[in-house]
A and B are shown apart, each in its own frame.
Chain A
Amino acid sequence: MSRALQRMAVAVAELAHGTADLVLIGIQRRGVELAERIAKLIEKDEGVVVPRGALDITLYRDDLETVGPKPVIGETRLPVDLTDKHAVIVDDVLYTGRTVRAALDELADFGRPKRISLCVLIDRGGRELPIQADVVGQVVKTSSGDRVEVQVEEIDGRDQVDLVR
């Protein structure tokens, strides 16, 4: 995973043509840790400070009505006014695209970034919305019954990606 993250860090910096105005925004929960790590890698390579934030999209989900017990809501913490920034959304797995749709709606309520990009560790296909990632760690072919489980050291004690069929 660390090699994938290093590649992603380089790709994010390239995407942004440098690091000015760059803000990394992790989606709760594992996206937050991944954003933190990618930001640190960029900081090491480029010698600049990269602001990062956390976004919980629960209240913007389109299926709140149908989920059983209400999901626990995590912290939303955005570092700066996003207007005229280049916001990069970071998440662990890109699947249906509905989480990203919710994140786009939520970010719009925090300002008007000049650009929003998407960076994911795993793209498992299966999109239900017209959404694509700009930076992908790895593409994994899956079918709808499969589960992709990402573990990160900060939360799970180790870095690992499992495909459960």
Chain B
Amino acid sequence: MSASLGKDLVGLEHMTPEQIRLILDTAEPFKEVSERPIKKVPALRGKTIVNLFFEASTRTRISFEFAEKRLSADTVNVAASGSSVSKGETLVDTAKNLEAMRIDMVVIRHPSSGAAGFLGQRINSNVINAGDGKHEHPTQALLDLLTIRDKHGKIEGLKVCLVGDVLHSRVARSNIWGLTKLGAQVGVCGPHTLMPRGIEELGVKFFPRIEEAIEWADVLNVLRLQLERMEKGFIPSLREYYRVWGVTPERLERSPRAITIMHPGPMNRGVEIDSRVADGPHSVILDQVTNGVAVRMAVLYLLAGGRPELADAAKRGGGGGAE
């Protein structure tokens, strides 16, 4: 296994299947760390990580924070409101100032697509994208991939359908890249108003009706309907959305297979997903949350340090390694 990740994790679009598998395989042993009586290992002791969140987030921020703390890193959370960002400081200035305090890694969530990549090119610290605009949310897709692999034992050949607001969803975009790279067949299903034009060029199949998607899929990843979309006229009403697109037990019953149900959260129960489905026997929604911590630990572990010049020096010094 010679794949490595480089300095930053910006998105899955430019990653190789080997790099994605490296993260998933590394996440596996990290699951066990969270089951220990003392949920902490010293791997990132002395590293300083800043969680720079320019957008609201509960799950992702807490998940990153747990991952960092369980690796013994020191963490600082910065939210846009109440920081110098609200006084008009630019993103790069904010990051350069943090870097001047000698930090090692930045986890960034930002409303602008491309913000994480932009930042990664301008600072020396490792940058991890925790969601940038409508671009990517790579750790969410990675935890989705891990959850699918846990449940089905493989990813290759599976039929996975993303349901709902694909247009505004960075989760959908990252999932499409990751799933297709690992050999899954990917479908998308939702109202035309919430489908990006030319989506089929990404190698996915479009289903205009939820019934057809259910007939086809092994896994449904139900995306959150962002409620502000209704005000902007993308859908007529929440009730109508539920009636036409909602994932309900009645609809799932028509499938010959037991379909695995996923949702990146937070859920709108009774809008995109029925409570009986969300809490049903084939839902892996809480497994996704558990896996999120392990995947983020793996990413932090693989990116941290990574100082090849030291490794070369150690080798030249004549193998003093363990064993």
**Contact flags (1/0) for A54-73 with B, using CB distance below 8 Å?**
00101111011111111011
Q: Which interface residue of A66, A75, A106 has the most chain B CB atoms within 10 A?
A: A66
Asked if B308 is at the interface of the complex by the 8 Å CB criterion, the answer is: yes
Q: In whole angstroms, what is the CA distance A111 to B310 when docked?
A: 35
Contact of B36 among A60, A68, A109 (CB under 8 A): A109
| Chain B residues, CB < 8 A from A111 | 37
Residues A72 and B32 in contact, CB atoms below 8 Å apart: no
User: Which among A11-19, A32-40, A90-98, A134-142 touches the partner chain?
Assistant: A90-98
Asked if B318 is at the interface of the complex by the 8 Å CB criterion, the answer is: yes
Give min CB distance, B311 to chain A, whole Å.
4
Interface residue SS majority, chain A = loop
Q: Which interface residue of B42, B43, B322 has the most chain A CB atoms within 10 A?
A: B322
Residues B322 and A69 in contact, CB atoms below 8 Å apart: no
Interface bracket on A: 35 or more
Contact of A73 among B29, B42, B320 (CB under 8 A): B29
Residues A144 and B318 in contact, CB atoms below 8 Å apart: yes
Asked if B17 is at the interface of the complex by the 8 Å CB criterion, the answer is: no
CB under 8 Å from chain A, chain B span 270-323: 301-302, 305-308, 310-315, 318-323
Asked if A46 is at the interface of the complex by the 8 Å CB criterion, the answer is: no
Residues A105 and B32 in contact, CB atoms below 8 Å apart: no
- In the complex, the number of residue pairs spanning A and B with C-beta atoms less than 8 Å apart equals 80
Give min CB distance, A68 to chain B, whole Å.
4
Asked if A145 is at the interface of the complex by the 8 Å CB criterion, the answer is: yes
Residues B29 and A65 in contact, CB atoms below 8 Å apart: no
Residues B305 and A65 in contact, CB atoms below 8 Å apart: yes
Residues B310 and A96 in contact, CB atoms below 8 Å apart: no
CB under 8 Å from chain A, chain B span 1-37: 1-4, 25-26, 29-30, 32-33, 36-37
Residues A105 and B42 in contact, CB atoms below 8 Å apart: yes
Residues A93 and B323 in contact, CB atoms below 8 Å apart: yes
Q: In whole angstroms, what is the CA distance A7 to B70 when docked?
A: 41
Residues A64 and B43 in contact, CB atoms below 8 Å apart: yes
Q: In whole angstroms, what is the CA distance A109 to B38 when docked?
A: 6
Residues B302 and A96 in contact, CB atoms below 8 Å apart: no
Residues A76 and B320 in contact, CB atoms below 8 Å apart: no
Given known pairs A59-B43, A67-B311, the reply for A109 and B302 (CB within 8 Å) is no
Using a Cβ–Cβ cut-off of 8 Å, how many residues does chain B contribute to the interface with A? 36
| Chain A residues, CB < 8 A from B320 | 96, 128, 144
Interface residue SS majority, chain B = loop
In chain B, what residue has the closest Cβ to A30? B323
Residues B2 and A69 in contact, CB atoms below 8 Å apart: yes
Residues A76 and B4 in contact, CB atoms below 8 Å apart: no
Given known pairs A60-B41, A69-B2, A75-B29, the reply for A95 and B314 (CB within 8 Å) is no
Q: In whole angstroms, what is the CA distance A59 to B73 when docked?
A: 13
Q: In whole angstroms, what is the CA distance A102 to B310 when docked?
A: 21
Residues B40 and A109 in contact, CB atoms below 8 Å apart: yes
| Chain A residues, CB < 8 A from B319 | 147
Q: In whole angstroms, what is the CA distance A158 to B206 when docked?
A: 54
Give min CB distance, A103 to chain B, whole Å.
10
Residues B318 and A66 in contact, CB atoms below 8 Å apart: no
Q: Which interface residue of A68, A147, A148 has the most chain B CB atoms within 10 A?
A: A68
Asked if A79 is at the interface of the complex by the 8 Å CB criterion, the answer is: no
Residues B41 and A110 in contact, CB atoms below 8 Å apart: no
Contact of B321 among A60, A63, A73 (CB under 8 A): A63
Give min CB distance, A97 to chain B, whole Å.
9
| Chain B residues, CB < 8 A from A98 | 322
Contact of A66 among B1, B33, B43, B311 (CB under 8 A): B311
Given known pairs A109-B37, A110-B37, the reply for A66 and B323 (CB within 8 Å) is no
Q: In whole angstroms, what is the CA distance A32 to B321 when docked?
A: 19
| Chain B residues, CB < 8 A from A67 | 311, 314
Task: Using A70-B4, A96-B322, A105-B42 as known contacts, list a sample of 20 further A-B pairs with CB atoms less than 8 Å apart, ordered by residue number in A.
Answer: A56-B29, A59-B33, A60-B41, A60-B43, A65-B310, A69-B4, A73-B29, A75-B29, A76-B32, A92-B323, A95-B322, A96-B320, A99-B323, A102-B322, A106-B41, A109-B36, A109-B37, A109-B40, A110-B37, A111-B37
